[in-house]
Amino acid sequence: MTYLITGATGDVGSRVIRQLLERGIRPRVLSRSEEKARSLFGNCIDVFAGDLSDPASIRVAMRGADAVFLVNVGPEIPSRDASAAAIAKEEGIRKIIKLSSFDVEQGLAIGAWHEKGEAAIRAAGVEFTFVRPSGFMTNLLAWAHSIKTEGIVRSSTANGRRSFIHSEDIASISVAALLSDKYLGEVLPITGTQLHTWGKITEILAHAIGKPLTYQVISDEEARERYSRISDSTKETEAHVALWHAIREGRLATTTNCIEHILGRKPISLQQWATENRHSFCN
Ligand SMILES: NC(=O)c1ccc[n+]([C@@H]2O[C@H](COP(=O)([O-])OP(=O)(O)OC[C@H]3O[C@@H](n4cnc5c(N)ncnc54)[C@H](OP(=O)(O)O)[C@@H]3O)[C@@H](O)[C@H]2O)c1
Question: Distance between CA atoms of 180 and 201, rounded to whole angstroms?
Answer: 35
- CB of 75 closer than 6 A to ligand 1? no
CA distance linking residue 106 with residue 65, whole number of Å? 33
Nearest to 93 by CA among 8, 9, 178: 178
- 281 — pLDDT class (breaks 50, 70, 90): very high
* pLDDT score recorded for residue 109: 85
Which of 71, 98, 115, 188 for mutating ligand 1's site (highest number of atoms within 8 Å of CB)?
Answer: 71
In sequence order, the β-bridge partners of residue 99 are 131
- Rounded distance between C-alpha atoms, residue 73 and residue 95, angstroms: 20
Type of residue found at 150: E
Q: How far apart are CA 133 and CA 268, in angstroms?
A: 13
Verify whether ligand 1 is closer than 6 Å to residue 110 (CB atom): yes
In 7-126 the beta strands, taken as DSSP E runs, fall at: 28-31, 46-49, 67-70, 95-99
3-class secondary structure, 44: coil
User: C-alpha dihedral over 83, 84, 85, 91, to 10 degrees?
Assistant: 110
Separation between Cα atoms, residue 187 and residue 223, nearest integer Å: 31
pLDDT above 90: residue 111: yes
Check pocket membership of 51 for ligand 1, CB cut-off 6 A: yes
Q: Which residue of 15, 16, 32 sits with most ligand 1 atoms within 8 Å of its CB, as the best mutation to test the pocket?
A: 32
9 lines ligand 1 (CB under 6 A): yes
How many whole angstroms from 10 Cα to the centroid of ligand 1? 6
- 12-25 pLDDT, tens digit per residue, is 999 999 999 999 99
For 187-222, the pLDDT digits (tens) are 999 999 999 999 999 999 999 999 999 999 999 999
Whole-number pLDDT of residue 53:
98
Give the per-residue pLDDT at 185.
98
Q: What are phi and psi of 178, to 5 degrees?
A: -70, -40
Average pLDDT, the chain: 97
Q: What percent of the chain has pLDDT over 90?
A: 98
DSSP secondary structure of 181-249 = STTTTEEEEE--S--EEHHHHHHHHHHHHTS--EEEE--HHHHHHHHHHH-S-HHHHHHHHHHHHHHHT
Instruction: Give the model's pLDDT for residue 108.
Output: 85
Tens-place pLDDT, residues 78-92: 999 999 999 999 999
Pick the closest to residue 78 from 37, 122, 38 (CA basis): 122
Residue nearest to atom 19 of ligand 1 (CA): 10
Q: Where is 13: in which H helix or E strand? A: helix 11-22
Q: How far apart are CA 114 and CA 128, in angstroms?
A: 14
Q: What is the pLDDT of residue 106?
A: 86
CATH number of 3-137+165-193+254-267, picked from 2.60.40.10, 1.20.1440.230, 3.40.50.720, 3.40.47.10:
3.40.50.720
Q: Rounded to 5 degrees, what angle do the CA atoms 115, 107, 158 make? A: 135
- For a mutational test of ligand 1's pocket, the pick from 9, 17, 98, 139, i.e. the residue with the most ligand atoms closer than 8 A to its C-beta, is 9
Cα radius of gyration (the chain):
19
Instruction: Report d(CA 240, CA 119) in Å as an integer.
Output: 22
Banded model confidence at residue 261, pLDDT cuts 50, 70, 90: very high
